[in-house]
Amino acid sequence: LDTGEAIPTLFPLFAGADWQEREQYDLVGVHFVGHPDLRRLMLPEDWEGHPLRKDYAIDTPHPPWR
């Protein structure tokens, strides 16, 4: 997917896709159109970026969040 591109959610067909799509959004930045609750799953809401993307700056310092 290109930056800013989105794909339709599978949540209406498969309820188990809810958390899987949230995880993909959180770590990779994939946007799912029609998802009922697309928010971060593992990282805090104020986290900037998506850490599993190739363009994510790995050397950026982040405060501890636990």
pLDDT, tens digit, for every residue of 6-62? 999 999 999 999 999 999 999 999 999 999 999 999 998 888 889 899 888 888 787
CB distance 28 to 41 below 8 Å = no
User: Is the Cβ–Cβ distance between 34 and 9 less than 8 Å?
Assistant: yes
User: Would you state the pLDDT for residue 65?
Assistant: 66
Report strand pairing: 31-33 vs 6-8: parallel
Could you tell me the two tokens for 56?
């994510």
Q: How high is the pLDDT of residue 4?
A: 80
Which pLDDT value is given to residue 31?
Answer: 96
Residue 43 CA to residue 41 CA, distance in Å, equals 6
* Nearest-angstrom CA–CA distance, 60 and 35: 30
pLDDT of residue 42: 92
pLDDT at residue number 62: 75
